[in-house]
Chains A and B, each alone.
Chain A
Amino acid sequence: MQLFNLALGLLLLMTLGGGIWRALRGPSAADRMLSVQVFGTAAVAVLLLLAQAFGQAALRDVALAFALLAAVTAVAFVRRAWAEEVDCDPE
């Protein structure tokens, strides 16, 4: 199972390639932010697969922290860096 998990992890890394392509290509800022989300979810999955393949329970906690951080980063980015250019934000 260890090799199998690693192979799947590598396959998931390929999805990051798609994310990077989209980040470079855009065209809008929103499209670039999508890739942040891909990285977040795929990275969590990869970390969980590695945690089991290598019996490293700590990697699961890294995945948890990653999930939290990805969410916070994306929300902060949308609300701050991006939304500031929009005048009205009724909240």
Chain B
Amino acid sequence: MAMWQSVLRRVLLFAITWWILVEGEVRSWWFGVPVVLVAATASLVLVSPTTLVWFELARFVPFFLVRSFAGGVDVAWRALHPGMPIEPHMIEYPTRLRPGLPLVFLANTVSLLPGTLSVALNTGFLNVHVLSGRRELQSELESLEDRVAALFGITLPVPSRGVI
């Protein structure tokens, strides 16, 4: 049942993409239908079915747009400022997400947000290059990870502030 739903969703996704690509040209569906089916099949083989919570997506998109805009402003300001105010350092963020698509999504999102660039994705750790020392980066990354988890319908354990 769930399999059929994800097949249907993928087909719909690629059909919409095709429809946009050909700018609504009706005759192109002769070619489009097989392409959409092949693309949907290939995508299911390459990326196994994933849950995506649509309501969370609607929350994530504005958050992402605002934060990545802030990221652009932040780095543009630092680049143009005569004194170039940067103090780069590297941090190691312990991830709670398991390896897979959501974790990759997290790493990519981190790179677009203000002052952070994901450098290496190891088991259990994400190495983040920070452009300038400031703020509570740890809690910011935690809340981002929570958002990503919610987006993919995953429940994460509460972050452990352990002794290391």
Contact residues in A for B87 (Cβ distance below 8 Å) = none
Q: Shortest distance in angstroms between B45's beta carbon and chain A's nearest beta carbon?
A: 18
Question: How many residues of A are counted as interface, with CB atoms below 8 angstroms from the partner's CB atoms?
Answer: 3
Which residues of chain A come closer than 8 Å to B23, judged between CB atoms? 57
- A66 and B23 alpha carbons, distance in the complex (Å): 19
Contacts of A64 in B (CB 8 A): 21
What secondary structure prevails in chain A residues at the interface with B?
helix
Contacts of A57 in B (CB 8 A): 23
Q: Which residues of chain A (44-91) have a CB below 8 Å from chain B?
A: 57, 61, 64
- Identify which of residues 1-58 in chain B touch chain A, using a CB-to-CB cut-off of 8 Å: 21, 23
When chains A and B are docked, how far (Å) is the Cα of A61 from the Cα of B23? Answer: 11
Which chain A residues border B21 with CB–CB below 8 Å?
61, 64
A57's nearest neighbour on chain B, judged by CB, is B23
CB distance from B75 to the nearest CB of A (A): 14
Nearest B residue (CB) for A61: B21
Q: List B109-150 residues whose CB lies under 8 Å from chain A.
A: none
Name the distance in Å between B110's Cβ and chain A's nearest Cβ: 17
Cα distance, A57 to B23, chains bound together (Å): 10
Within 17-62 of A, Cβ neighbours of B (below 8 Å) are at 57, 61
Chain A residue with Cβ nearest B22:
A61
- Say how far A55's CB is from chain B's closest CB, in angstroms: 14
Tell me the smallest distance from the CB of A82 to a CB of chain B, in Å: 15
- A selection of 3 A-B contacts at a CB cut-off of 8 Å is A57-B23, A61-B21, A64-B21
